[in-house]
Amino acid sequence: MVAGLDEKLEPIFQDVLRRNPGETEFHQAVREVLETLGPVLVKYPELAEQKIIQRICEPERQIIFRVPWQDDRGQIQINRAFRVEFNSALGPYKGGMRFHPSVYLGIIKFLGFEQIFKNALTGLPIGGGKGGSDFDPKGKSDAEIMRFCQSLMTELYRHIGEHTDVPAGDIGVGGREIGYLFGQYKRITNRYESGVLTGKGLNWGGSRARTEATGYGAIFFLEEMLKVRGDSIEGKTCVVSGSGNVAIYAIEKAQALGARVIACSDSNGVVVDQDGIDLALLKQIKEVERRRLSAYVQERTGATYLENGCIWTVPCQIALPCATQNELTAKDAQSLVRNGCIAVAEGANMPTTPEGIHVLMDAGIAFGPGKAANAGGVATSALEMQQNASRDSWSFEYTEQRLKEIMVNIHRNCYETSEEFDSKGNYVVGANIAGFLKVGHAMAALGLV
């Protein structure tokens, strides 16, 4: 089902498998990139001589540490945390922290690897990194979250810094967690170093439009893909998986541009609301009350809740996977195709399986891969770092405008690169090659480090 590897790249991939046993998500992310790099080595043999691909697949540094903390009953709990500092050729390591029970080294490495190329695509001076913990924030009190974040930062602080490594949020890590992490960093170091974390609150160094950035950015990228096809998002029926940060703001921007968003989900089920998702209600339930999505239908009688349902069976013209990795399989892709879907833009990281991507592309669906389509989040984090460095604070309109320009540029870069490498309109090829070339040339220029 998936494409084969170039004969020069197969041994490199075999080496990645051998050196990183059991890390299936990392293998998947590496393979997807290597599948597109064959023509690059032909055009730029010096990158092969410099062993840039082998070097890029090996993180510069990996930190794994214990996080002990006490729960509200006084019981001692132990979690494991990770920070993978993957590549700093273009700038300080940059990438979020994920708190989810599924987290292990293979997930953090897949995310860190993707982050290298994504960050390169933004055109901003940021390297790639990622971190997280197998801590499950669900059902925890505020006080437990705070104690966990403080314990985690008590180790992490020695590895990060505004010029070294700048973490942010991801699944399970939002403004509340960034606050507790920043507070502990400040306390330990006795430095008000705003640029050490992004996703901060607006009155203590955060950037306007950062909360909205990943979701909005995915819609801006989608708009550009549709424009190429002489189409637009206006009047289209959309479904958005997830109901967290990325999903909520993808829904907000899609609705603002005239789309009808009729479904969203969480890990327990799917809400279908043919009248259009009531965004104010969704925000109240998820952001304010931190309840499960099933609460939506208690307030909105016209909507239905499908316990353990599959969102990709809901007929739509546009699908936006905004929850987690490998949530859209070949079978799901087939049902999207059957129902007349015309575009998929990935708000999440690697949400579509390789087989799923194959089905979508074969059917001629416009497909925006996460490392391009969801780059608006990290791009706006880099804008937050710029504001921190100049002790400035930009307006929402200005920051959103910068985000939009960045997304338009990423789209153009991916599209033109896909054309240059004889795969016009294939954004997977375009994103991988454009991102790789930027980092690869920088690595070559920096010598053997």
- Angstrom CA distances, 183 to 105, 167, 180, 243, stand at 26, 14, 5, 27
Name residues whose C-beta falls within 8 Å of residue 14's C-beta, 6 or more positions apart in sequence: none
Structure token digits, residue 35: 């599948």
Question: Is residue 426 at the binding interface for ligand NDP, with CB under 6 A as the rule?
Answer: no
User: Side by side, which strands form the sheet with 237-241?
Assistant: 304-307, 269-272, 260-265, 237-241, 318-321, 343-345, 366-368
d(CA 415, CA 409) in angstroms, rounded, equals 10
Q: Is 214 annotated as a binding residue?
A: yes
Question: Is residue 172 at the binding interface for ligand NDP, with CB under 6 A as the rule?
Answer: yes
Is residue 130 part of the annotated active site? The answer reads yes
Q: Which helix (H) or strand (E) holds 223?
A: helix 210-228
What residues pair up with 321 in beta bridges, in sequence order?
A: 241
Choice between 233 and 322, CB closer to ligand NDP? 322
Choice between 53 and 322, CB closer to ligand NDP? 322
- DSSP of 241-285: E--SHHHHHHHHHHHHTT-EEEEEE-SSEEEE-TT---HHHHHII
Question: Is residue 245 at the binding interface for ligand NDP, with CB under 6 A as the rule?
Answer: yes
Q: Of the listed 51, 109, 130, 140, which one is catalytic?
A: 130
Structure token digits, residue 352: 């579509």
Look up residue 173 and give its DSSP letter: B
Radius of gyration of the chain (CA): 21
Question: Is residue 129 at the binding interface for ligand NDP, with CB under 6 A as the rule?
Answer: no
Residues in 318-357 that interact with ligand NDP by CB under 6 A: 322-324, 347-349
Nearest-CB residue to ligand NDP? 244
Question: Is residue 365 at the binding interface for ligand NDP, with CB under 6 A as the rule?
Answer: no
Residues 376-395 vs ligand NDP: string with x where CB under 6 A? -x------------------
Choice between 44 and 370, CB closer to ligand NDP? 370
Q: Are 94 and 126 in contact (CB under 8 A)?
A: yes
Question: Is residue 266 at the binding interface for ligand NDP, with CB under 6 A as the rule?
Answer: yes
Which of 92, 112, 128, 242 is close enough to bind ligand NDP by CB under 6 A? 242
Which of 198, 214, 317, 417 is close enough to bind ligand NDP by CB under 6 A? 214
Residues of each annotated binding site for substrate: 94, 115, 118, 169, 381
Residues near ligand NDP (CB under 6 A) are 169-172, 214, 242-247, 266-268, 322-324, 347-349, 374, 377
- The annotation places the binding site for NAD(+) at 214, 245
Which residues does the annotation mark as catalytic?
A: 130
